[in-house]
C-alpha cells in the first residue's frame, strides 16, 4: 500500500526544492513562478512506508482560472491525497496563508511546512510557531528546503498525522468522512508502527472557521443542506464555501436537486448584502482580515535590521532609467564570453579533437583494412563531417546555457520580465510572455509548449507567433561558422545584432498581428519578484545538462540521418551513379532549381539553397550540409569553403539573417501546431516567417549594398 502526499503552495515557495531533497530526484528548480505546470511524482520510503510525493504546480488560490489552478485543484479535490503538505514561504506569510486557508477547508489531513526559515532569520524576523498552529488549527513545521534543514522532522510529523488520522475516532470519520481510506491506513500503520512512539507535540489538524459570523453561519447552513451529497462529503467546508461564492465548477459537480438549490438560495438571501462587493469578494475579504490578524500576532521583527543586499541590488537593476540598458549590457557580456575568443577557443579544441584527430584516425583505420571507398566516404565525408561540424559547438552551447541559468536561478530573470513588461505591453503582451520567449533562445519547442502558462488565449497565440523570432540555439552553429568566416573582428557585435534584430522583428510582428488578426483586450500582469539568491551548482548542472542531452540526442538521430541523406544526394547523380563532381549531383540539381529565389538576397548559389532547405529538418543541418558539400571535416576548411561561396560579407550577413528568420524546424512546427490548435494558424505562422525572412534579407542586402 502506498501513501500519497501532495505538495501544495504558492509559486516559488520551494516546492520543487523540497521535492528534490526528499525524493533525491533532480527536477529543475526555477526561481520563476510557473516553472511546474504539470504535476510531478516521486517515490521514497520512510520508516517502512512507501510514499508517493506529488509536486503540484504553484498556485495562489483554488479558483479555477489558470492552468496551474486547474491541475492542482483537480488533484486535491478528486484524487484525495492522504496528506497535504502546504509549503508556506515564511518571508511572505500574508500572501501564502491565503492559499492555506483554502487548502484547510478541503478537509484533508494537512501539515504546513514553513519554508525559508534561513532567509527569515537573515532579515531579523521571527515567527511564533506554536501560536500560528493554534490560530490556524494546523500543525506547522519550520524547515529550510534549500539547506535541507527540518525535513526529517517534517516527514516524521507527517507520518504521525497519518497515524493519528487513522486512529482517530472523531466525528469526521464516523460521518464517513475519509472512512475507507482511514481504515486502510490504520491497518497498514499498525503493521509498520516503527519509530512512531507517541510524541506530545504533534498537533492534530482541526477545522477552523476563518470568517465573520454572518458569513460563517450561512456557510454552516449550506453545509447542512449538502452534507449527504456524495460529491460534497469528502470536502464539505470547501464545497459549501464554493457554493457561497457561486462557483460554477462546484455547482456542476454537486448537481443539487431543486429542493436543495432553493434551500441554498434562501440561506444566501439571508446574508447581509453589500452593494460594492460580491460574495466571492466577501469571502476573500473575510479571509484576509483573519490572516492579517494572525500575521500581526505571530510575526515579530528584531531591532537593528535594515535593507538587505538583495534590496540594494534590486534598486539598481530595476532602476527606472538604467534597467533596460543594464539588461542589454548583461546579455551583451554573455555573448562576448560565449562567442568571443573564450568560446571559440573551446570550440576549436573540440573541433580539433573530433574533426581532425579522430576523423584522420578513422579514415586511416578504414583504409588500412581495405574498406570500400564509398563506405569510407559515407562514414567520413557524410556521417562524421555532418555531425562533427555541429558537435564542435557543444562548448559554446553549454556556456550560453550556463550563463542563462545563472540569470534565471539568481532571480534576475523575473526582474527582466518585470522590466520588459513595459516594452511588451506596446505589442499587446505582458511580462508573463517573457519567460516563454526567453526559452525560445534555447529551443522553440519547449518554449512554445511553455505558453500554456498564459491564461489568455490571445496572449498565447501572439506569444507562439513571436517565439520563433527568438534565435534558437540550433542556429548558433550557423552564426558561429559565418562569423569565423567573415566577421572575425567583431564577433560579439554581429551576434548581438542578429539576436536583437530577431527580437525587434518579433516585436514588430506582434504589433502588426495585434492590429490585424489578433485584436483583443490587454490582460493584467501581476508578478512577485523572488529574492535574489546564489544559484546552486547542482541546479546549474541540471539545467545545462538537460540542454546538452537534447542536443546530443539530436546529433545522434536527426542530424545523423540528415547527413546520410545529404551525403547520398551529393554523391550520386540524377541517373544514380556515384559521382565525384558535386556539380552533377542530385543535390546540385535541386539547388539549381531553387537558387533563383535567393539570388536577389545575395546568395544565389545552389549550395546555400540546399543548405537552407536541409535546415528545415533541423537548423544545425545547415552547417552539416556545408561540411558535407566541401568534404570539409575541420573548421578551417569549412571557413575557407564558405568564404569562397559568398561574394561579400554583406551577402553572408544577409544569409544569416535569413537563417535567423525563416521557418522553424519540423519539430518546432509540430509544437506550434499543437499549441495553436489548428492548421490555419500554423500555416499563417510559417508563411509569415518566410515572408519576413525574404523581405528583411532583401532589404539588408540591397540597402546595405547602397550604403557600403
Task: List the alpha helices (DSSP H) in 207-320.
Answer: 213-226, 236-244, 248-254, 258-269, 279-298, 309-317
For residue 674 the three cell numbers come to: 499543437
Q: Which stretch binds Mg ion (CB under 5 A): 32-40, 318-326, 430-438, 457-465?
A: 32-40
Using the minimum distance from each CB to ligand GDP, give the nearer residue, 116 or 692: 116
Per CB under 6 A, 602 contacts ligand GDP? no
- The single residue among 30, 81, 442, 615 that binds ligand GDP, judged by CB under 6 A, is 30
d(CA 54, CA 43): 9
Q: Write down the least CB distance from residue 294 to Mg ion, Å.
A: 26
Q: What is the contact mask toward ligand GDP in residues 126 to 165, using x (rule: CB under 6 A)?
A: ------------------xxxx------------------
The crossing angle, in degrees rounded to 10, of helices 586-598 and 560-571 is: 100
- The single residue among 29, 236, 334, 399 that binds ligand GDP, judged by CB under 6 A, is 29
DSSP codes joined into one string, 526-579 = --PPPPP-PPPHHHHHHHHHHHHHHHHHHIIIIIHHHHHHHHHHHHBBTTS-B-
533 binding partner (options ligand GDP, Mg ion, none; Cβ < 5 to 8 Å by kind): ligand GDP
Per CB under 6 A, 17 contacts ligand GDP? yes
109 binding partner (options Mg ion, ligand GDP, none; Cβ < 5 to 8 Å by kind): none
d(CA 172, CA 164): 13
Query: Measuring CA to CA, which residue among 210, 249, 199 is closest to residue 62?
Result: 249
- The single residue among 112, 116, 544, 661 that binds ligand GDP, judged by CB under 6 A, is 116
Q: Write down the least CB distance from residue 53 to ligand GDP, Å.
A: 13
Strand, helix or coil for residue 49: strand
Per CB under 6 A, 36 contacts ligand GDP? yes
* 321: CB partners within 8 A, 6+ apart: none
Per CB under 6 A, 103 contacts ligand GDP? no
- The single residue among 31, 66, 509, 663 that binds ligand GDP, judged by CB under 6 A, is 31
Per CB under 6 A, 405 contacts ligand GDP? no
* 174: CB partners within 8 A, 6+ apart: none
174-203 positions binding ligand GDP, by CB under 6 A: none
Per CB under 6 A, 543 contacts ligand GDP? no
Q: Which stretch binds ligand GDP (CB under 6 A): 12-20, 424-432, 567-575, 626-634?
A: 12-20
CB-CB contact of 445 with 66 (8 Å): no
Q: What is the 3-state secondary structure (H, E, C) of 485-515?
A: HHCCCCHHHHHHHHHHHHHHHHHHHHHHHHH
Q: Which stretch binds Mg ion (CB under 5 A): 36-44, 93-101, 235-243, 540-548?
A: 36-44
Strand, helix or coil for residue 634: coil
Q: What is the 3-state secondary structure (H, E, C) of 318-358?
A: CCCCCHHHHHHHHHHHHHHHHHCHHHHHHHHHHHHHHHHHH
Per CB under 6 A, 35 contacts ligand GDP? yes
Task: List the alpha helices (DSSP H) in 377-490.
Answer: 385-391, 394-409, 412-426, 434-439, 444-449, 457-466, 476-486
CB-CB contact of 658 with 631 (8 Å): no
Per CB under 5 A, 621 contacts Mg ion? no
Using the minimum distance from each CB to Mg ion, give the nearer residue, 36 or 585: 36
CA atoms 471, 472, 473, 477: torsion sign: negative
Per CB under 6 A, 477 contacts ligand GDP? no
Q: Write down the least CB distance from residue 90 to ligand GDP, Å.
A: 9
d(CA 170, CA 173): 6
- The single residue among 7, 10, 16, 547 that binds Mg ion, judged by CB under 5 A, is 16
Q: Which stretch binds ligand GDP (CB under 6 A): 31-39, 563-571, 605-613, 663-671?
A: 31-39
Using the minimum distance from each CB to ligand GDP, give the nearer residue, 12 or 571: 12
Per CB under 5 A, 36 contacts Mg ion? yes
17 binding partner (options ligand GDP, Mg ion, none; Cβ < 5 to 8 Å by kind): ligand GDP
d(CA 365, CA 351): 20
Using the minimum distance from each CB to ligand GDP, give the nearer residue, 90 or 623: 90
Pairing of strands 49-55, 40-46: antiparallel
Q: Which stretch binds ligand GDP (CB under 6 A): 114-122, 263-271, 490-498, 641-649?
A: 114-122
- Interface residues with ligand GDP (CB under 6 A) are 9, 11-17, 29-31, 35-36, 58, 115-116, 118-119, 144-147, 409, 530, 533
- Interface residues with Mg ion (CB under 5 A) are 16, 35-36
Amino acid at each position: 500500500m502506498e501513501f500519497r502526499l501532495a505538495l501544495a503552495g504558492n509559486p516559488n515557495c520551494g516546492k520543487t526544492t523540497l521535492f528534490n531533497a526528499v525524493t533525491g530526484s533532480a527536477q529543475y528548480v526555477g526561481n520563476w513562478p510557473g516553472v511546474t505546470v504539470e504535476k510531478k511524482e516521486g517515490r521514497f520510503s520512510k520508516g517502512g512506508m512507501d510514499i508517493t510525493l506529488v509536486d503540484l504546480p504553484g498556485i495562489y488560490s483554488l479558483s479555477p482560472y489558470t492552468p496551474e489552478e486547474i491541475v492542482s485543484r483537480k488533484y486535491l479535490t478528486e484524487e484525495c491525497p492522504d496528506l497535504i503538505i502546504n509549503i508556506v514561504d515564511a518571508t511572505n506569510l500574508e500572501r501564502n496563508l491565503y492559499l492555506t486557508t483554502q487548502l484547510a477547508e478541503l478537509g484533508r489531513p494537512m501539515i504546513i511546512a514553513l519554508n525559508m526559515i534561513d532567509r527569515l532569520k537573515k532579515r531579523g524576523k521571527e515567527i511564533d510557531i506554536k501560536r500560528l498552529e493554534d490560530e490556524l488549527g494546523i500543525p506547522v513545521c519550520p524547515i529550510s528546503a534549500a539547506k535541507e534543514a527540518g525535513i526529517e522532522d517534517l516527514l516524521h510529523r507527517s507520518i504521525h498525522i497519518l497515524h493519528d488520522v487513522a486512529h482517530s475516532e472523531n466525528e469526521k470519520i464516523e460521518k464517513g468522512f475519509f472512512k475507507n481510506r482511514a481504515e486502510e491506513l490504520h491497518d497498514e500503520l499498525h503493521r509498520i508502527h516503527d519509530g512512531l512512539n507517541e510524541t506530545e507535540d504533534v498537533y492534530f489538524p482541526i477545522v477552523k472557521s476563518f470568517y465573520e459570523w454572518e458569513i460563517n453561519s450561512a456557510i454552516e447552513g449550506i453545509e447542512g443542506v449538502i452534507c449527504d451529497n456524495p460529491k460534497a462529503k469528502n470536502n464539505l467546508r470547501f464545497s459549501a464555501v464554493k457554493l457561497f461564492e457561486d462557483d460554477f465548477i462546484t455547482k456542476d459537480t454537486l448537481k443539487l436537486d431543486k429542493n436543495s438549490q432553493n434551500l441554498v438560495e434562501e440561506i444566501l438571501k439571508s446574508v447581509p448584502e453589500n452593494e460594492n462587493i460580491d460574495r466571492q469578494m466577501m469571502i476573500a475579504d473575510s479571509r484576509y482580515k483573519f490572516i492579517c490578524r494572525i500575521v500581526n500576532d505571530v510575526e515579530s521583527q528584531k531591532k537593528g535590521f535594515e535593507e538587505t543586499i538583495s534590496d540594494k541590488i534590486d534598486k539598481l537593476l530595476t532602476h527606472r532609467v538604467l534597467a533596460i540598458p543594464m539588461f542589454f549590457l548583461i546579455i551583451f557580456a554573455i555573448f562576448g564570453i560565449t562567442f568571443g575568443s573564450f568560446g571559440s577557443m573551446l570550440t576549436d579544441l573540440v573541433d580539433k579533437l573530433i574533426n581532425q584527430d579522430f576523423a584522420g584516425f578513422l579514415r586511416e583505420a578504414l583504409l588500412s583494412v581495405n574498406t570500400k571507398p564509398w563506405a569510407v566516404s559515407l562514414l567520413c565525408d557524410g556521417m562524421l563531417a555532418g555531425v562533427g561540424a555541429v558537435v564542435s559547438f557543444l562548448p559554446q552551447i553549454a556556456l550560453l546555457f550556463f550563463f542563462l541559468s545563472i540569470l534565471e536561478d539568481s532571480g534576475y530573470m523575473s526582474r527582466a520580465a518585470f522590466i520588459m513588461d513595459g516594452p511588451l505591453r506596446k505589442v499587446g503582451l505582458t511580462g508573463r510572455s517573457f519567460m516563454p520567449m526567453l526559452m525560445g533562445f534555447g529551443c522553440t519547442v519547449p518554449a512554445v509548449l511553455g505558453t500554456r502558462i498564459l491564461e489568455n488565449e490571445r496572449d498565447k497565440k501572439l506569444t507562439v507567433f513571436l517565439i520563433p523570432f527568438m534565435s534558437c540555439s540550433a542556429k548558433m552553429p550557423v552564426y558561429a561558422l559565418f562569423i569565423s568566416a567573415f566577421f572575425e573582428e567583431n564577433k560579439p557585435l554581429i551576434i548581438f545584432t542578429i539576436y536583437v534584430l530577431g527580437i525587434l522583428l518579433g516585436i514588430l510582428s506582434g504589433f502588426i498581428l495585434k492590429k490585424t488578426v489578433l485584436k483583443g483586450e490587454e490582460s493584467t500582469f501581476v508578478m512577485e519578484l523572488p529574492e535574489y539568491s546564489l544559484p546552486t551548482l547542482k541546479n546549474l548542472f541540471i539545467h545545462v545538462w538537460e540542454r546538452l542531452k537534447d542536443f546530443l540526442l539530436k546529433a545522434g538521430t536527426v542530424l545523423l540521418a540528415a547527413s546520410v541523406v545529404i551525403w547520398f544526394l551529393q554523391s550520386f547523380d540524377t541517373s544514380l551513379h556515384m559521382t565525384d563532381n558535386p556539380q552533377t549531383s542530385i543535390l546540385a540539381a535541386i539547388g539549381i532549381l531553387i537558387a533563383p529565389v535567393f539570388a536577389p538576397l545575395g546568395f544565389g548559389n545552389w549550395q546555400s539553397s540546399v543548405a537552407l532547405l536541409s535546415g528545415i529538418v533541423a537548423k544545425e543541418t545547415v552547417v552539416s550540409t556545408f561540411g558535407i558539400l566541401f568534404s570539409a571535416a575541420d573548421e578551417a576548411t569549412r571557413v575557407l569553403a564558405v568564404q569562397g561561396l559568398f561574394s561579400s560579407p554583406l551577402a553572408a550577413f544577409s544569409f544569416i539573417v535569413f537563417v535567423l528568420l525563416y521557418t522553424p524546424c519540423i519539430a518546432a512546427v509540430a509544437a506550434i501546431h499543437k499549441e495553436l490548435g489548428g492548421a490555419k494558424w500554423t500555416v499563417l505562422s510559417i508563411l509569415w516567417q518566410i515572408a519576413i525572412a525574404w523581405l528583411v534579407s532583401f532589404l539588408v542586402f540591397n540597402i546595405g549594398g547602397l550604403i557600403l
